Amino acid sequence: MYETMIARSILEVLTYRITSRNQPCSAASVNIMVGELRNVNVDGLLFAFDSIKQNYPHCARCELVASRAAASARCRAGHNYQPKGNAAYCTECGESMAELIHGQELEITNITVLDSAGVHLV
């Protein structure tokens, strides 16, 4: 399942970041940004993350917080607009899309790490 693969990648990034700190600590939360045009089921991703995080010792209590980024694009005439679904044409002039600015994100935007005493490190 695609969402499980994404959850695993996030947990691997967290584990790498934490183990590279060379001190006992754990991830308290991780924020991700998911573009509106990304075919990701956010509820499925949250469920997958919570189901497998116990397998990652530094992430067993980590909370995943997902935000969706609205799609935005620029047409060949230079207008910024919101592409609707698969219709990539400018809503203002009908020109085709020159650049998709937002909507395809799938990235970690913030990680909260605590040391073994519960002190906020990052």
Residue choice 12, 50, 92, 115 for contact with Zn ion (CB under 5 A): 92
Q: Which stretch binds Zn ion (CB under 5 A): 5-13, 32-40, 70-78, 108-116?
A: 70-78
DSSP letter (8 states) at residue 77: T
User: How far from 71 is each of 32, 43, 64, 100, 111, CA to CA, in Å?
Assistant: 16, 19, 22, 8, 24
Nearer CB in complex with Zn ion: 49/81: 81
Q: Which helix (H) or strand (E) holds 19?
A: helix 2-19
Query: How much is the CA Rg of the chain, to the nearest whole Å?
Result: 18
And the tokens for 11? 């947990």
Residue with tokens 């997902």: 66
Nearer CB in complex with Zn ion: 60/93: 93
Under rule CB under 5 A, residue 75 binds Zn ion: yes
Find the residue with minimal CB distance to Zn ion: 90
Q: How far is the CB of 76 from Zn ion (least distance, A)?
A: 7
The site map against Zn ion for 9-48 (x = CB under 5 A) is ----------------------------------------
Query: How many Å apart are CA 37 and CA 63, to the nearest integer?
Result: 24
Positions that interact with Zn ion (CB under 5 A): 75, 77, 79, 90, 92-93, 95
